[in-house]
Structure 1
Amino acid sequence: MNIYNNYSEKELITLLREGDTDALSRLYYLYVKQLKYFVLRTAKSSLLAEDVVHDTFIKVWENRDKIDCELPFKPYLYTIARRHLLNLLKRAQHEINIVDEMRRSVINEENSTELLLDYSESSSIFQEAIKSLPEQRREVFIRCRIQGLTYKQAAVELGISESTVNNQMVKALKSIRGFITIRSAMILLIAATIK
């Protein structure tokens, strides 16, 4: 990949459009620190910033044929990252609003204090969700989210690529979110029928 060090951004974009993964790696190397700093200013979370940066480069790869070689790459990259971060933040806020709404509706029910999940039950559901993941996905999730390793560190520990770690994290978060949503909904339905 050393030959890529001498290529201009325009040449790297041309190679990227042709499906050259080494060109993507070089662009990643050139922009990853700046992009992470840019995202971190808004995200205020190193882990979230790392997720957004990795997702941004995945989107660049997936849409490589749409990149205009004549336009500067950095604004294109930052626009993708900003939009992705804003979508994640909106989704997180939406989920918080749903949980708050569910909590308010349960609190309004008679004897609702008995129906609220306490911390140990919530923790138990979360542990079940993690255990339900396929082995590699579970290992990636534990290292990145629980142990606090970076995607790069987790990749080295598990002997897999950084992009595999990123893909497994995306799938793990989606699975865990779905598991918890279904389990919580079931508990609320059971609680409503007990009334």
Structure 2
Amino acid sequence: MTGEDTTGIQDSELLLQVAKGDEKAFTTLYWQYSGTLYRNFLRMVKDETIAEELVQDLFSRIWQKRESLQVEKSFKAYLFRAGYHLMIDFYRKLKRDQDLYGHFRQVASENYNHIEEIFNLKDSQALLARALDALSPQQQKAFRLCRMEGKTYREAAEEMGISPHTVKEYFTKANHAVRAYLAEHIDISLGLLLLYVLHRSL
């Protein structure tokens, strides 16, 4: 049996105890996962206090719902999804404060090179499709070839039948437009990014 399988069994047993109100079992789960959650929330929000508050909020929700907690696959998978929804809630509430919202839009821009890592996730397809819809067909193709398929300007130019310089122009405009779209929708884009990094690190 692998270590991952063992962890899954241990989590299930702990969750059964948590459902009965066992604070010791809850504390065990907290210390097992809170550190990774904190580091990845911090990566998203760039603020230690807010990252800590998000972790506390997440585990507080888990405790409050302990008797009816629906953990279909694993506690890790549950944390992925719960963290994603918590991040979306955070940014939606943040829009009420324009100064803070501006700060976190900058965070989204800084994370853009990492956000591209989520484009292959099922949940991100609709977001990316909407971002690309505003582009011209040539810009879309340049973006897909250069950003998503990793082709060079020369390779993309050969496939598109245009010059590398023209590909670069299309790509530059497309990249700027997608960056702006993701910054405008930081609740979803950073929520998806959190889902991605949690999946890799928990």
* TM-score category (smaller protein): 0.3 to 0.5
